[in-house]
Structure 1
Amino acid sequence: MTSGIHATIGVASPVMAYLRDRAVPALCGGALLLSSWSGAVHAADPADFYAVPEASLAGRPGTLIRAEPVPAPAGAAVAYRILYRSRGADGRPVAVSGVVAAPPEGTAREPVVTWGHGTSGIAPGCAPSRFPRHAFESIGGLHDLLADGDIVVATDYQGLGAGHVHPYLVGASEAHAMIDAVRAARQLPGLRAGRRFASWGFSEGGQASLFTGALARSYAPELTFEGAAAVSAPTELGRLLRNDIGTPAGEVVASFAAWSWSHAYHVPLGEVVQPQALPALEHIATLCSLDPFQRIAVGLSTLAYGGAGPLRPDATGHADWSRLIAANSLPTPRGVPVFLAQGDGDDLVQPSTTRDYARRLCRDGVALDYREIPFASHGGAEMDSAAAASGWLAARLAGARPPSDCAQLAGGATSGDGPAGRR
């Protein structure tokens, strides 16, 4: 696996030409400048990698446009930054970027886990793949997944990296990007990525993973989807936007959603955003949330709202806004096993909302492994659930029968039922 991509550099294809002429010399020459300290995110400007002429977007979803090697994380034999074709929520062709990490070569085709990252911003410069080391460090349980023999792909989502507008918290767009990342990884020479895959994500990525579960079998029938895992996932956007105004995190989410949806779906900002909030919202839309310093900066920027928040009081009842909220809430991955984790100290995604969603999945016949983690915050739940999630994913990709906590949920049990390491 480690030598496969170099062995095929002479193949006459756009991907191989890119690797031959630009990526390999750049890597060998140290042109990818990564921070020596993991607390901050820095990189050389890879703008050329993400540039795709409009005429080049047409093609089958999941087609690899270009790839370049990047430093591999611990436990991986090789890693790449990739650019591939996908479909937006409206079905139009788009280019999407991401990263791939592969374990040491095995004897059979490896299954794939597709990861959805949490909110990083909505501007093109907020793409995690621009900072590969950070992108890999943010993947929950990456070392365990690689040790289990899984190839791991991590999309940036539409509009982050390539493109101009990120459709924030738009489930179909996120799911298409996650699924097409698997298709793209299967085209990287030497990786031996198989047809079987599962999804896993945190926060925005948790929502993306659940929508992947709902859409995978219809969107990519040539692949075999084995299960969706999610932690701290916003499953009911109306509650999220109504209940969290007044908190910095909630106002950042509302700001990103308002700006993104206004540009992606032409919902006039003035119809849902308070007039005095518009300058601050436009500024927040340019900020990223990739490292602790950036998260502090974007949170402090919400102070400009003066405690009133960015949204009009009736924003969630606005016809276009309400339609978008409904379309991107309550994904239902019928016939697909689900792992769902939630911190009971989460002040962004309310535990009661996730609990209601869990019971809804049970009523729909989903085999659900539900974990409510005592005292865990929104981000803390990701760290606390990563081992259990990676174990659950390993079992699904090994063909084991999925467990279900639905009987316990029906009986009122909610907190961490079942051993944390259960598979």
Structure 2
Amino acid sequence: MSPSARSRNPATQAPNHNPGIRELAQQYFDTRALLSPAHRIFSALPHTSALVAWGITAVLFIAGGLLLLKPLTAVLVAFYFWIAATAWLLFTVLRTTKHRLARTLVIVGFVALAAIVVGSAYTLNTLPAVGASLLFVGALARIMTLKKKTPAQKILRLSVAAMYVLVGASSMFWPDITLVVMGYIFALWLIITSFRVSSRILKGEVATGHQPAEATPSTPHNSKNIAPLIGAFAVGLSLIFVGMTVAGATMWLRSTFNQVDSFYSYDTTNLPEPGTLLRIGAYNGNVPENLLAKRMLYTTTGTSGQTTVASGIIAIPADMTEADKPHMLLWEHSTTGLAPACSPSAGSTALSAQNIPAFVDVYKENWGFVAPDLTSFEQTRATPFLIGETQAAYSLDAARAARTLTLADITSTEDTIDAPAQGSDLFSPETVVWGHSQGGHAALWTAKHASSYAPELTISGVAALAPIAEPFEFTQSLIDTKQSSVAMMLSYIVDSYSSAYDDVTEQDYVRFGASPIVNSLDSRCTDSSSLASAMSMILLGAEGTNLYSGIDESSTLGQRLTQNAAVGTFDVPVFYGWGTQDEVVTPQLHEKYGEQLCTANPTATINTYVDDTHLDVLRNPQALATSPHGAKTG
């Protein structure tokens, strides 16, 4: 730094008094500007040859261009760049200032910086929060430095502060998008800086041996010229509009999410044995006129073998009597997500023809439905996604609990009934298990596990539509697609297995720096909240396909996935259907599993549906017909 620049640096001046917060805020701006990487580059240009200056320009431009194509890599580079720049800024201020308050704040800054560095040894989960905090600090500093500013400058500073607050608050809800945007901003900063350097080179500001003269700030004067005010208002309104748009979009999108109400809150100490009905309550979703539906809480066995609380829906014909004894259809839903809010019972469409095959025909035949959510409410990140025995336990215990419900309680108009009275079984002894996608896997495991886990139940048959029957092969097919759209499904798998098995660690399979993105993906459902995930994947581009690594057959995760394949013999009739245009579970996987199923179970029925996609088979009116086109017996 030149002597003239040093004399202007507020951090190097010996003050005659201890400054207040407002003065420190102004010094924060001044010092940051003087010690910023861009300013240091510009300050070095007069002492640099044109060749070196053009080299700096080329490096900045090429690096920015490459990082613009790899925003996640840009975040990592930006993170360490920011750590180094901030450490240098704090060290310079600490070395040069004598202000007690300033030195105290600098020491606090060093401690915070050290905590961020230590915390980022394995993950960058804190980085989005750090970015939001910097926006809040910037907003506060701009508000505190309004004194002696012109009206136009005050308008601009207040507008920037407002935008920072709105964007910073919104970014806390979307850490994955925040992280990716930070990567883009850093890459663009490199490119813009390269243009600024090249502009100074073209102006002849290199190899001069002295600093270029700086413009003297104009002194405010009384003038009737309102052009600056009009310009400031226009720019300010634009900035506030950007902030309000981001905040408004956040509020709207979050308002569309399912909400988990107090019904699901239950004391988990001293829980009774698995299969015990704990609570029933009103189901607030759409229900056909001739069905009566309730939500239920019951006990089951969790991923660690502990007794835990699960939820689901029970629905019976609205006009049934205790003598009717309807058949029980145990329905295992498609993939909805891991979070409690993703539970079908928390939504409005759990009982619909869009989500249950042959739904209208079944309830018109006076069948009853029991639909477990397959979601953990006891603790976050413990949902047994594609974990066979645990999903089976959730399902079988739902059937057990539903069979103890009395007709008086299920027809009651009370909003919630705790510890419902146990009555005689409302259903006929036979239970049929159906499932689709994730639920198809759960249905197959329910049928396999029933005789050992709940031998008192009679499982008459199982139907699996487009099931994820072999989790390891399915995971490999997702990775092989090289499409960022599969990142959410992979996040569910990695999260669920790392929560269920002590020997599976998420950090071993998630690329360094990608944890905030993966954690955001696995916290969202497949409903409207997935729009944020889709935006994140679009912004990531090609890097969205490289969030995971090391998931192979020899890895611990790979072995655990293989253990959860629904293979082998079944004690009950098996129906297996899939579409030839399935874009989630590939036809090749279906064909391979179908051959294995037929070999082990010669009486199994396998149906293929020409031109049907993954969801088409769920809504195909012939999905569970006895003799559809393409049917064959093993």
TMscore range, shorter length: 0.7 to 0.9
Structure having the higher helix fraction is: 2
In structure 2, relative to structure 1, the CA distance for the partners of 1:203 and 1:91 (3 Å cut) is same
1:365-408 CA distances to partner (integer Å, 9 max, x unpaired)?
25222111111111112112x5442x55xxxxxxxxxx9x9xxx
1:101 equivalenced with 2:323 (yes/no):
no
1:347 equivalenced with 2:583 (yes/no):
yes
**Aligned 8 A contact 1:342 1:381 in 2:** yes
Q: CA deviation at 1:174?
A: 1.1
TM, length-normalised to structure 2: 0.52
Moved more, 91-100 or 315-324: 315-324
Q: CA deviation at 1:67?
A: 0.2
Equivalent residue, structure 2, for 1:86: 300
Among candidates 476, 494, 498, match of residue 242 of structure 1: 476
In structure 2, relative to structure 1, the CA distance for the partners of 1:42 and 1:243 (3 Å cut) is closer
Unaligned runs of 5+ in 1: 1-39, 393-402, 406-414
In structure 2, relative to structure 1, the CA distance for the partners of 1:153 and 1:368 (3 Å cut) is same
SS in 2 for 1:55: coil
TM, length-normalised to structure 1: 0.77
CA–CA separation in structure 1 for the residues paired with 2:515 and 2:304: 27
CA–CA separation in structure 2 for the residues paired with 1:352 and 1:374: 14
% of aligned pairs identical? Answer: 27
Alignment of 1:2-13 (within 5 A): none
Equivalent residue, structure 2, for 1:152: 369
1:122 equivalenced with 2:370 (yes/no):
no
1:15-52 CA distances to partner (integer Å, 9 max, x unpaired)?
xxxxxxxxxxxxxxxxxxxxxxxxx9666641x21122
AA of the residue aligned to 2:326: E
In structure 2, relative to structure 1, the CA distance for the partners of 1:140 and 1:41 (3 Å cut) is farther
Q: CA deviation at 1:60?
A: 2.3
Equivalent residue, structure 1, for 2:536: 301
In structure 2, relative to structure 1, the CA distance for the partners of 1:272 and 1:158 (3 Å cut) is same
1:67 equivalenced with 2:275 (yes/no):
no
1:335 equivalenced with 2:571 (yes/no):
yes
**Aligned 8 A contact 2:577 2:623 in 1:** no
CA–CA separation in structure 2 for the residues paired with 1:148 and 1:249: 39
1:75-130 CA distances to partner (integer Å, 9 max, x unpaired)?
54311000001112442211100111101315432221111111111112211111
Structure having the higher strand fraction is: 1
The CA RMSD measured in Å over matched residues stands at: 2.5
CA–CA separation in structure 2 for the residues paired with 1:166 and 1:327: 17
Equivalent residue, structure 1, for 2:518: 281
CA–CA separation in structure 2 for the residues paired with 1:322 and 1:244: 13
Alignment of 1:2-401 (within 5 A): 45-46=260-261, 48-57=262-271, 59-70=272-283, 73-74=287-288, 76-103=290-317, 104-105=319-320, 107-131=323-347, 133-137=348-352, 138-159=355-376, 161-164=377-380, 165-190=382-407, 192-245=426-479, 246-266=482-502, 267-290=504-527, 293-303=528-538, 305-308=540-543, 309-384=545-620, 387-389=622-624, 391=625
SS in 1 for 2:327: strand
CA–CA separation in structure 2 for the residues paired with 1:227 and 1:296: 37
- Alignment coverage as a number of residue pairs: 352
SS in 1 for 2:499: helix
In structure 2, relative to structure 1, the CA distance for the partners of 1:317 and 1:187 (3 Å cut) is same
**Aligned 8 A contact 1:64 1:85 in 2:** yes
Q: CA deviation at 1:331?
A: 3.4
In structure 2, relative to structure 1, the CA distance for the partners of 1:387 and 1:42 (3 Å cut) is farther
Unaligned runs of 5+ in 2: 1-254, 411-425
**Aligned 8 A contact 1:336 1:366 in 2:** no
In structure 2, relative to structure 1, the CA distance for the partners of 1:249 and 1:371 (3 Å cut) is farther
In structure 2, relative to structure 1, the CA distance for the partners of 1:41 and 1:340 (3 Å cut) is farther
CA–CA separation in structure 2 for the residues paired with 1:158 and 1:376: 28
